[in-house]
Amino acid sequence: MEEEQLNIEFEPKQPSHGKRVYVYFAILAIVVLSIFFAKAKWQNHVMVTQVSVEGTNILSKEEIVRLMKLPPRVSMYDIDLTALQRNIQSNAFVKNVIVKRDAPSQLLAIIEERTPAAMLTGSELFYIDEEGVVLPYIASSEGYDIPIISGADSNSQIKAGRKILNSDIQEALEIIRIAKAASPEIYHAISEIRLRKGHDIVCYTFESGAPVIFGKGDIAQKVVKLDAFWQKFMRNSDPRDIQYIDIRFDDQVVVSRKNS
């Protein structure tokens, strides 16, 4: 009698926790989607209730809010922040601006203003910053101890918000920058910088109005030379006795006195 060979195949047993994993995953997905839709619905109903402004000394908060052009009852998350920044930056005094949402319902505008470095005279009064950007002349509680730049070429296309590339004006601004950094005393002594259409630049002092013939070029060297002369001779002299000071020469300062 032949023995029958029995081939018995065993099916692998499914892990008991497999179905549970799928159930947990489905529940988690439902929870995440519910939170997402609840958040989206909440965001649609959050209105802007306040605007905060930081970094302004010249412009007022009211002016910044006006520049934003916010529509009434606007949703916090429907606002185009880039458009708001562009609107604010249309003001010449605004150098940089960042607008961001500050939950739950506030917008925050962080402003970097352009600071006047000099007053530019001509057919109109303007301010001008250290980069040469023209700023409108406005009444402000902020006091400016800054010199006047006069004699600007009328062809320089002076317009608020525009950067002036005129070489005379840029050289006058360089005198201001270097004097401010190297010698506060010389910086505060300069009341006016007169341009002469490509010819020698002349500075006038506060105390006596005496002209300082500055010439062209070598600004840093001339400021240092003028400062040394000022410290040594002008402190013990009557500035009203000075007719002019000439610092165009390499090795000397030429001084003309009224009584000589």
Per-chain mean pLDDT for the chain: 82
- Of 113, 132, 149, the residue at which a domain comes to its end is 113
Same domain, 129 and 102: no
Please tell me the chain's helix, strand, coil percentages from 3-state DSSP, rounded to the nearest 5.
Answer: 35, 25, 40
Domain extent at residue 174: 118-257
**Domain membership flag for residue 29:** no
Same domain, 101 and 134: no
Task: Give the pLDDT score at 38.
Answer: 54
Same domain, 209 and 251: yes
Same domain, 104 and 145: no
Task: Give the pLDDT score at 55.
Answer: 92
**Domain membership flag for residue 253:** yes
Residue-wise pLDDT tens digits, 129-173: 999 999 998 765 456 789 999 988 765 678 888 898 889 999 999
Helix (H, G, I), strand (E, B) or coil at 133: strand
**Domain membership flag for residue 189:** yes
Same domain, 108 and 154: no
The CATH number of the domain holding residue 240 is 3.40.50.11690
Same domain, 133 and 239: yes
Phi, psi angles (nearest 5°) of residue 162: -100, 140
Residue-wise pLDDT tens digits, 24-49: 667 777 777 666 555 555 455 678 78
Cis peptide before 104 (omega within 30 of 0): yes
Q: Are 198 and 168 in contact (CB under 8 A)?
A: yes
- pLDDT band for position 109 (cuts 50, 70, 90): very high
Same domain, 108 and 129: no
Residue 260 has pLDDT above 70, yes or no: no
**Domain membership flag for residue 17:** no
Residue-wise pLDDT tens digits, 183-201: 888 888 899 999 988 899 9
Give percent of the chain with pLDDT exceeding 90.
34
Task: Give the pLDDT score at 7.
Answer: 55
Residue 244 has pLDDT above 60, yes or no: yes
Same domain, 251 and 123: yes
Residue 95 has pLDDT above 60, yes or no: yes
Same domain, 122 and 84: no
Q: Tell me how far the alpha carbon of residue 186 is from its chain's centroid.
A: 26
**Domain membership flag for residue 241:** yes
**Domain membership flag for residue 16:** no
Same domain, 58 and 146: no
- Of 96, 113, 130, the residue at which a domain comes to its end is 113
**Domain membership flag for residue 14:** no
**Domain membership flag for residue 244:** yes
Same domain, 78 and 133: no
The CATH number of the domain holding residue 106 is 3.10.20.310
- pLDDT band for position 232 (cuts 50, 70, 90): confident
Domains contained in the chain, number: 2
pTM of the predicted model, to two decimals?
0.73
Residue-wise pLDDT tens digits, 2-11: 555 555 554 5
- pLDDT band for position 229 (cuts 50, 70, 90): confident
The count of other CB atoms within 10 Å of the CB of residue 209 is 12
Helix (H, G, I), strand (E, B) or coil at 9: coil
Beta-carbon contacts of residue 116 (< 8 Å; ≥ 6 apart): 127, 128, 129, 135, 144, 146
Tell me which of 53-62, 146-155, 174-183 is least confident: 146-155
Same domain, 190 and 161: yes
**Helices and strands in the chain, H and E counts:** 6, 12
